[in-house]
Each structure stands twice: as structure tokens, then as C-alpha cells.
């Protein structure tokens, strides 16, 4: 899969689906040549032309003016020595200089994929992966740059990461160090990215890339509601079903950045990695700094195909543990039913109703610990709120399990309340700048998870809890972003390391916790989707998609999320109306159809439902259980976008294409409305499919489609269609 042409100094990574080509240029500079559809062989004919560009410097010792790093397609660029474009790294030396120039020294092609110490990462069978490790050296500074490229035999993916090693006796300071950079030659390109806010996560924006620089980032200490660490570059004609596109997904949960620069010659550079804002890292002799991984994916068949690449890859090569490829339970969370106002009697009635409806997991949310009766107190005190439950937490959990349900709990271990036993004992454990009062958010502070003593204390509390209470599920929340990022344990010169050290500490904590308790299903959460990223999926196979449970708002949230993240990762609940976030009133039917489009759950007071509502929910649960594997692990296809009109549609297809489920959603009714045709995708043209519409061929359903029921009445309407392949009748 990886070859090196020693004569022409060309590296070619390929697997029958994609090719990635690099070349060692004069002076040992590593040039990017090509990334895209598979090439059987690269001849070397696309070498960057030698041309004099005014005001573009030439390397020292140049005999002519025809070669400049300022225009060359670079593989991992710096600046200050001839390239004036955005850099992938910025290193400050003892003499104050920022000039570092890495040139090729050697390489290794290895079977398998080396582990990244302390970071979430992709994995797979060694026999199906090859990795190229390039070593580049700045001889003056005695710094070594290692670039890693892993290619998998069965998918259109390249996994990249970078590493810096200091071989000098003098310390250097890293002020920026990206995970990857790639240059595209002159071609028109669109940028697609996922932005938002709390309760409005992962909204899609598409824009033409123009000359200049655009930065997509989070400075919040988390991947954030505001900007997901994912973006796409696409040819302008690319849509869901056709066209070329390139995906970039960072496996990291902290502050991140993606820089897109189009230079005066219409070349486009994409750099992705840890956010450089307020970041710096001391690198002493022998020290190694490892950047997170980036997953580059490719499609020449549109955005849906790109999503299929990511969904399959993350399902099989990122998510781990007992719940990989395993169907997830239908849950009821008591939060919107009771908030903090609950006792055991009230919860007993919820459990009884959940059992009667066919729900499989009861989750006790906020309010069970410390002296927690509101959101002003007790974060950090992860022991039982004595007297809140008559049977005690373990006793109540046993009662839930005796009724045939699993039991789950809510936690927010990275935070501390000012009114808590933990804070009174250890005020120095929060993030705070000396002599400054730190900012509050939701009446809580951020614990300094860069500290081992903090992590040990929280771990011991959770260990006692998990060993005493029979827990099947944990919802891990984080309800504020980082401010006052300063650790009292570190020297002033190291304060730029705190945010990343926090993430490394958190990853270390999660690795220990999730491997010690592999039987617990962990779900990530940060005020909903504020930390929905591949880094967290490495430890927790599912994430609460958004605190916004309104079905109509969820159409855009889940549609955008599906660009990169598979349905098996998306928590999605039916809640009460009027909705608690938007106050919108929608029918149970559309709420159920939207929630079934992820990991189905309920978040409402089951004891207040009418008989008709209970009957409807029972039917939803019955249908979901019938088709659970298809809805959680089937191939997800987007058909109509909520970002483009009044109608939304998507579908799920089984791996053998013998079955499909289609959901259609309409936001607002319209008088004398045009008819809506749904054309399906991904079916078998050789198969006949039976549904409530009759028997139709796969080719007919894809090429002609069918009309959505024109008699579908009212606002906020939806329909579900089930297609099952049947044997073709003999002619």
C-alpha cells in the first residue's frame, strides 16, 4: 500500500480507493503532489513547475530564481525562511528566533499503526494497515519532526499525526504545532463546516473559498457547541450524491483550529490541530510532543459517500469496548420529568410506567449526590445525598434492576461547586489565576484535571460509587467551558500548557475508568453536544447530541451531525410538549420519528401521559426494537436537507440492501403545495421491495421515486416507510 521510488524520491500511499503522493524536492523539502482517487501508478509528471515569482524568496545557495518555498505545494510548512503563507508550526528558540526549517532525513514503512501515547486514536488489524513515518531534521536547532501517515486497506482514509523531538541541550518553546497540513493546487473549492451554539449545534454552512485566510476554531477548552473540529473541502458542483470532496476530522476534545488559506495563485492550504491561542509548550532535551490525529477522508461520489467512509471508519476503528457494534438500550431519563424535585416514590412511578411501555434503562439525572437540591451546590461531592432516596441509591438501583430495567446515573466529575465539601477542603484545585477571582458559569468552577492529585481524588470517589451501586450506564456531563486557565502546580512559563495538559489528564482518567468498568455504557455530554467529537468517542461510544429535544430543531442538528458521526453515536430523546427549550408543540409521531433516527430515549413525565399517548409510545418502542440494528448500524443516507427547504428526509439501508427505512419530515403545511417526490438511494437494482406503497423495483425507487402522501395534514408532519426485499416473481 506504501511505495517509495528511490530514483525520483516519491512516496505513494494507495489502497485501490485513494492515493496520496509526496515528493522530496531540492534541498530535502517535502512537497505535496496529490491526494484523491486511486492511481495505479504515479509517473512523476506532476512535479511543481520551476517558475520565477517576484517577491518569493529562494533558498540559501540557490543558483537561479526558479524555486521558492513561498509557492511550492508543501507537506508540513513553516515560515520565516521563505514561505509567507500560514504555517503548521511555530517554534521559538533560545535566541528569540522563530525560524525552523525541517528537511528530509529518512523514513520507515511499517506494517500496522504505532500507538499514540496518552491520546485517543484510531486502530485496526496490523495486517490491514501500513504506516509511513517520515523523519525531518532542522540540523541547526537539532529538532526532529516526525510525520506519520497510516493507510487502511479497506477504506478511503489517511490518518495523519505529527511529533516533535528536541535533541538539543537547549530548551525550545512550541507556540504552534498542527497535526496536519495539506496544499491543494489551483482549483475552485467550497468549504463546508459545522458551527452553532448551545441547543443549536452543528449547523451546516457552505461557502466558496476565496483568496485570504479563514480560521475555524474553539478557544473554549473543549471542542465546543460553537465549532466542531470537522470540515469539508468540496468541488463546487458536489452535492449529496455526486462530486469530489475531502473531509478533515480532528481526534481531540479540547481547543482546536482549522486554518484555510487561499494564496494569490489560487492554491488552497488546510491546517488542522490544537488551537495556537494562548498555547505554548516547553520542550527540553529528549522531550517529545505528540499532536492529535486527523482523519482525512475522500469521496468522488458526493457527501453521502464521504459520510459513509467516516461512519464505517469510526464504528470499526475508533469506538472500542463491549459496546462496539452492540445495540444500545432504550432509556428514560428523569431530568425533564422531575428536574431536582424527586423522591423515591416519584421515581418508582416513573420506573413502573417505563417498564410497562417497554423501556429498558432508567437514568437518574442530576440531584442524587452531596447536598444537591439545585444547581448551586455539591459538584465534586460524588457521594450519596443521604435521605433523598428512602432505600438509598444502591437499594433503589436494585429495585430498578429487579423490575427488569438497567440502571444509570448522571455525573459531572470535571467541575466543582463553590458550595461543596471538595471546594472547602481544596480551593486550590480549581483553575484560577493568582490574585484574581475566577469567573463562574452555571455557579461552578472547573477542576484542574491537569493535576494528578485532583484526578486521583475524583477517581477514588467514583470507584467507591461504582463498586457499591449496580450501575449499567453513566451520562458524563460538562456544563461550562474553561476560563481562568491557570494551574497553581505549574511554573509561570508553563501556563500555556495547562489547557492541553487538562485534556491529557482527562484522557488518562477516562482510559482508566472505562477499561476498569467495561460493563458500563458511558455516554458523553457537555450541555448536550458541546463535546461531540472523535476524541470522546474513543472512550464513550455515544454522545448526547443536544440539550435541545425539540423535534424540529433536531432535524438540522442531527442532519449536520451525520456529516461525520454515525447514528450509533447520537443520543436522541422524545420529550414533552410544549418543548422545554423552544416551547414548540409537536405531535408524538414526529417526535418519535426524529428520536428513532438516533439512539432512542425518552425524557418526559411518563406518569402524566394519556392512554392514547402511552399507546403511541408503546408502538414507537415496538417498531424501534423491531428495526433497532438497522436504525443504529445501517447505512445512513441523507435525501432532503432541512438547510435547503421545508422538507427533510433520510434513510437507513441494511448492509445486504435487503431492507430500508425512510423518514420524511415536513415543517410547515402549505396550501396548494407542490407535490414532493422522494428518490431513494443505495438500494439493489436487482431487487424488488415491498412496502405500504406496493411492490417496486430498487431501480424504480431510486430513479423515479414516489410521491409523499399529499394528504399529510398540518404543520410538523412526518412519515415512516419500511421497504423489504422480496424474491422477484418469475416472468
Active site (catalytic) residues: 477, 547
Per-position DSSP letters for 437-504, written without gaps between them = PPPPBTTEEEB-TTSHHHHHHHHHHHHHHHHHS--SEEEE---S---S---TTS-GGGGGGHHHHHHH
- DSSP letter assigned to residue 704: T
> How far is the C-alpha of 299 from the C-alpha of 297, rounded, in Å?
7
Residues 472/361, Cβ–Cβ less than 8 Å: yes
> How far is the C-alpha of 130 from the C-alpha of 160, rounded, in Å?
12
How many residues are recorded in the chain? 731
Per-position DSSP letters for 158-221, written without gaps between them = EEEEEEEEE-SSS-EEEEEEEEEEEEE-S---EEEEEEEETTEEEEEEEEE--SEEEEEEE-SS
What is the sign of the dihedral through the CA atoms of 555, 557, 563 and 569?
Answer: negative
User: C-alpha angle with apex 558: 555 to 564, nearest 5 degrees?
Assistant: 145
Q: Which residues on neighbouring strands pair with residue 120, listed in sequence order?
A: none
Q: Smallest Cα–Cα separation from 226: which of 218, 237, 238, 234? A: 218
Q: Name the maximum alpha-carbon separation found in the chain.
A: 87
- DSSP letter assigned to residue 243: B
Residues 553/199, Cβ–Cβ less than 8 Å: yes
> How far is the C-alpha of 577 from the C-alpha of 596, rounded, in Å?
18
At 496, phi and psi to the nearest 5? -70, -5
Element (H, E) at 536: helix 534-537
At 71, phi and psi to the nearest 5? -120, -20
Would you call the peptide bond into 105 cis, given omega within 30 degrees of 0 as the criterion?
Answer: no
- DSSP letter assigned to residue 27: G
Query: How far are the Cα atoms of 21, 39, 56, 300, 515 from residue 35, in angstroms, in the given order?
Result: 6, 10, 25, 12, 37
- DSSP letter assigned to residue 377: B
Residues 725/684, Cβ–Cβ less than 8 Å: yes
Amino acid at each position: 500500500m506504501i511505495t517509495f521510488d528511490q530514483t525520483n524520491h516519491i512516496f505513494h500511499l494507495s489502497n485501490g480507493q485513494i492515493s496520496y503522493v509526496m515528493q522530496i524536492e531540492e534541498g530535502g523539502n517535502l512537497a505535496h503532489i496529490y491526494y484523491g482517487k486511486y492511481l495505479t501508478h504515479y509517473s512523476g509528471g506532476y512535479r511543481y513547475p520551476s517558475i520565477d515569482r517576484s517577491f518569493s524568496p529562494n533558498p540559501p545557495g540557490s543558483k537561479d530564481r526558479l524555486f521558492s518555498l513561498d509557492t511550492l505545494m508543501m507537506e508540513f510548512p513553516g515560515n520565516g525562511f521563505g514561505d509567507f503563507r500560514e504555517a503548521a508550526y511555530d517554534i521559538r528558540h533560545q535566541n528569540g528566533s522563530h525560524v525552523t526549517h525541517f528537511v528530509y532525513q529518512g523514513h520507515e514503512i511499517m506494517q500496522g499503526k504505532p500507538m499514540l501515547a496518552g491520546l485517543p486514536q484510531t486502530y485496526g488489524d496490523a495486517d490491514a494497515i501500513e504506516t509511513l513515518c517520515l523523519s525531518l531534521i532542522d540540523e541547526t536547532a537539532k529538532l526532529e519532526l516526525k510525520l506519520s501517515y497510516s493507510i487502511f486497506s479497506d477504506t478511503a482514509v489517511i490518518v495523519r499525526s505529527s511529533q516533535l523531538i528536541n535533541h538539543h541541550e537547549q530548551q525550545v518553546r512550541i507556540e504552534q504545532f498542527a497535526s496536519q497540513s495539506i496544499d491543494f493546487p489551483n482549483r475552485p473549492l467550497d468549504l463546508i463546516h459545522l458551527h452553532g451554539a448551545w441547543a443549536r449545534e452543528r449547523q451546516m454552512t457552505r461557502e466558496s473559498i476565496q483568496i485570504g485566510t479563514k480560521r475555524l476554531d474553539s478557544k473554549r477548552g473543549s471542542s465546543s457547541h460553537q465549532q466542531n473540529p470537522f470540515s469539508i473541502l468540496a468541488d463546487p458542483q458536489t452535492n449529496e450524491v455526486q462530486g469530489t470532496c475531502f473531509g478533515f476530522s480532528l481526534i481531540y476534545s479540547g481547543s482546536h483550529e482549522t486554518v484555510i488559506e487561499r494564496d494569490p495563485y489560487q492554491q488552497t492550504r488546510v491546517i488542522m490541530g490544537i488551537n495556537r491561542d494562548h498555547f505554548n509548550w516547553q520542550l527540553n532535551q529528549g522531550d517529545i510532543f505528540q499532536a492529535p490525529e486527523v482523519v482525512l477522508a475522500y469521496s468522488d461520489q458526493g457527501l453521502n459517500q464521504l459520510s459513509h467512509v467516516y461512519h464505517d471508519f469510526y464504528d470499526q476503528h475508533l469506538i472500542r469496548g463491549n459496546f462496539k457494534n452492540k445495540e444500545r438500550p432504550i432509556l428514560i431519563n428523569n431530568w425533564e420529568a422531575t428536574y431536582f424535585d424527586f423522591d423515591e416514590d416519584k421515581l418508582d412511578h416513573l420506573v413502573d410506567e417505563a417498564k410497562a411501555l417497554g423501556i429498558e434503562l432508567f437514568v437518574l439525572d442530576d440531584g442524587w449526590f452531596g447536598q444537591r437540591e439545585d444547581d448551586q451546590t455539591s459538584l465534586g461531592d460524588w457521594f450519596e445525598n443521604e435521605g433523598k432516596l428512602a432505600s438509598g441509591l444502591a437499594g433503589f438501583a436494585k429495585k430498578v434492576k429487579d423490575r427488569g430495567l438497567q440502571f444509570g446515573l448522571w455525573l459531572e466529575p470535571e467541575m466543582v461547586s463553590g458550595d461543596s465539601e471538595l471546594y472547602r477542603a481544596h480551593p486550590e484545585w480549581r483553575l484560577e489565576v493568582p490574585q484574581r477571582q475566577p469567573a463562574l458559569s452555571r455557579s461552578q468552577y472547573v477542576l484542574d484535571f491537569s493535576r494528578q492529585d485532583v484526578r486521583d481524588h475524583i477517581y477514588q470517589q467514583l470507584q467507591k460509587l461504582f463498586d457499591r451501586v449496580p450501575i449499567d450506564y453513566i451520562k458524563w456531563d460538562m456544563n461550562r467551558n474553561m476560563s481562568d486557565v491557570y494551574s497553581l502546580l505549574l511554573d509561570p512559563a508553563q501556563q500555556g500548557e495547562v489547557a492541553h495538559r487538562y485534556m491529557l489528564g482527562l484522557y488518562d482518567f477516562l482510559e482508566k475508568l472505562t477499561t476498569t468498568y467495561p460493563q458500563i455504557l458511558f455516554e458523553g455530554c457537555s450541555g448536550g453536544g458541546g463535546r461531540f467529537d472523535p476524541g470522546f468517542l474513543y472512550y464513550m461510544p455515544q454522545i448526547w447530541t443536544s440539550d435541545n429535544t425539540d423535534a424540529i430543531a433536531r432535524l438540522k442538528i442531527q442532519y449536520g451531525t451525520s456529516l461525520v458521526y454515525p447514528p450509533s453515536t447520537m443520543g436522541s430523546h422524545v420529550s414533552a410538549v410544549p418543548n422545554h427549550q423552544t416551547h414548540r408543540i409537536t405531535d408524538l409521531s414526529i417526535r418519535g420519528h426524529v428520536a428513532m433516527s438516533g439512539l432512542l430515549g425518552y425524557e418526559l413525565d411518563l406518569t402524566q401521559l394519556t392512554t392514547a399517548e402511552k399507546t403511541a409510545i408503546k408502538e414507537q418502542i415496538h417498531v424501534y426494537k423491531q428495526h433497532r440494528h438497522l436504525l443504529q448500524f445501517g447505512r445512513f443516507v441523507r435525501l432532503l436537507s432541512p438547510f435547503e427547504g421545508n422538507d427533510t428526509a433520510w434513510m437507513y439501508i441494511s448492509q445486504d440492501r435487503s431492507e430500508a427505512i425512510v423518514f420524511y419530515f415536513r415543517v410547515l403545511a402549505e396550501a396548494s403545495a407542490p407535490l414532493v417526490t422522494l428518490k431513494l438511494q443505495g438500494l439493489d437494482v436487482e431487487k424488488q421491495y415491498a412496502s405500504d406503497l406496493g411492490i417496486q423495483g430498487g431501480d424504480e425507487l431510486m430513479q423515479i421515486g414516489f410521491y409523499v402522501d399529499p394528504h399529510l395534514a398540518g404543520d410538523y408532519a412526518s412519515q415512516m416507510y419500511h421497504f423489504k426485499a422480496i424474491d422477484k416473481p418469475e416472468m
